[in-house]
Amino acid sequence: MAIRIKARAGESPEQLLRRFKKLCEKEGLTKDVKRRAFYEKPSERRRRAARKSQKRVAPGGRSGGRR
């Protein structure tokens, strides 16, 4: 997966870099790099994934259903 950006007519290097950074963030590349910066034990990875899935299926929330 290579991210390529072509310079538009009259675009400054700062604008080009900003577009590149936005695209990297949109693709999730920056988040992935930060996550891989330090070693994470497999047990910690599983624990983090379990916490994330519990947040998704949080019980007791007001879903708007009738009783």
Say how far apart CA 63 and CA 54 lie, in whole Å.
16
Task: Please indicate, yes or no, if residue 28 is contained in any of the structural domains.
Answer: yes
* Pair of tokens at residue 56: 């998704």
Task: Please indicate, yes or no, if residue 60 is contained in any of the structural domains.
Answer: no
50, 35 contact by CB (below 8 A): no
Q: What is the pLDDT along the chain (67 residues), one digit of tens a residue?
A: 688 899 999 999 999 999 999 999 999 999 999 999 999 999 999 999 999 898 877 666 565 556 6
Which DSSP category does 58 fall into? Answer: -
What pLDDT, on the 0 to 100 scale, is given for residue 63? 59
> Total domain count for the chain?
1
Q: Which domain holds residue 35?
A: 13-54
Q: Roughly how many angstroms between the first and final C-alpha of the chain, as a whole number?
A: 49
